[in-house]
């Protein structure tokens, strides 16, 4: 599956959908971002049930500000409209796959209950 480009206009619509959305905050000039891009793309081709999305931090500075992105690349995982993971740094493929499996395994009722307390 191809990655989706997220903008201020479509971010909430994509992020609030049911299921898992992985967001790569990146920039064209960023070396680690360029090294992480093929890892992200390979993972996208393996997981048809997950939305893989990218935010160009130069083109969408308001999204970077909204989510407090201070370092790129930053990977954010959203499940059922809730941010469940966010970490800066170019992840190796094995770590990205581990993050995906952990996000899949979350008990979202428990996550919501903890978020409310």
- Model confidence over 79-88: pLDDT tens digits? 999 999 999 9
Q: Report d(CA 37, CA 90) in Å as an integer.
A: 9
Assign residue 95 the CATH number of its domain.
Answer: 3.40.30.10
Reduce the DSSP state of residue 90 to 3 states and report it: coil
Asked if the model's pLDDT at residue 117 lies above 90, the reply is no
Residue-range definition of the domain harbouring residue 72: 4-116
Give me the catalytic one of 6, 22, 33, 63. Answer: 33
Burial of 65 (0-12, 13-18, 19+ CB in 10 A): exposed
Report the predicted TM-score, pTM, of the whole model to 2 decimal places: 0.94
Give me the catalytic one of 6, 22, 23, 30. Answer: 30
- Total structural domains within the chain: 1
Measured in degrees and rounded to the nearest 5, phi and psi for residue 77 equal -110, 130
Residue 106: active-site member: no
Residue 48: active-site member: no
């Amino acid at each position: 599956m191809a990655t989706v480009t997220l903008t201020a206009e479509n971010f909430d619509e994509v992020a609030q959908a049911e299921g898992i959305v992985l967001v790569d905050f990146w920039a064209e000039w960023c070396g680690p971002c360029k090294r992480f891009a093929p890892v992200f793309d390979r993972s996208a081709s393996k997981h048809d049930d997950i939305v893989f999305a990218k935010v160009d931090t130069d083109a969408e500075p308001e999204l970077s500000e909204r989510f407090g992105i201070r370092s790129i690349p930053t990977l954010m995982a959203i499940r059922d409209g809730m941010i469940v993971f966010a970490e800066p740094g170019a992840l190796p493929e094995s770590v990205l796959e581990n993050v995906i499996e952990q996000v899949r395994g979350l008990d979202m009722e428990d996550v919501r209950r903890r978020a409310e307390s």
